[in-house]
Amino acid sequence: MARLRNATATSAGGIVIDWKSGIPQLVVGMRRRERDSVTWTLPKGTPHAGESVEETALREVGEETGLTVRITGSLDSISYTFVQHGTRIHKTVHYFLMEPTGGDLAQHDHEFERVRWISFDEAHGTLTFETERALVERARERLAKQGQGVEDERTAALSAGQPADAQR
C-alpha cells in the first residue's frame, strides 16, 4: 500500500449576517460533489499570492455569494484533514463575521450551484459539516453576548407579538 504524501492548505471565508424582519440570517452555498451528492457550506476560498487572510475572505465571499461585504469581527479558525489525489491535506480555514454592503446573490460565481439566506435556526439542519455548524453556533453566542439578541425564530416571533410560525 502506497503512503500518502502530506500537504497543508489555508483558506479564508466568512459568516455574512443580515437582519431580515428582525431575525439574523446568514449566507450558505450548495456545491455538487458527486453525481448524487451535494454539500451546503459557508463561503470560503484559497488566498492569492501576497493576500492577507482578511483580503482572501473578502474576495472569496464576494465571488462565491455575489455580495459586497465588510468584516465586522474575527471568528475561530477550523481545521480538518482530507485526502485528494493521493495526498493527505491538513487544511485551516480562517473565518470572519461579515455584513453585506451591496451586491446580489444572483451574481454568485460558478463555485456554488445555489446560494441562499438561512436563519441561524436552519443552519444546524442545512450545513453539511459539523465544524461549520459549531462555528455558526459560536457566532450566534458571540452576537448574543454583544447584545445583538440572536435568539431563535420562535422566541423572536413571540416577543414581537406574532404567532411562532408567522415568520416562516
53 — alpha (psi -120 to 50), left (phi > 0) or beta?
Answer: alpha
Residue 159 pLDDT grade (very low, low, confident, very high; cuts 50, 70, 90):
very low
Total domain count, the chain = 1
Mean pLDDT of 20-44: 91
In which domain, by residue range, is 52 found?
5-159
Instruction: Say if 165 falls within a structural domain.
Output: no
User: How many residues belong to the chain?
Assistant: 168
Does any domain span residue 164? no
CATH number of the domain that 80 lies in?
3.90.79.10
| Domain-embedded: residue 166 | no
Q: Give the Cα separation of 26 and 19 in Å (integer).
A: 9
Helix (H, G, I), strand (E, B) or coil at 131: helix
Across the range 65-94, mean pLDDT stands at 94
What region, left, alpha or beta, does residue 56 occupy, with left being phi > 0 and alpha being psi -120 to 50 degrees? alpha
Q: What is the pLDDT of residues 53-65, one digit of tens each?
A: 999 999 999 999 9
When the pLDDT of each residue in the chain is averaged and rounded to a whole number, the result is: 87
Residue 164: predicted pLDDT:
41
Domain assignment present for 168? no
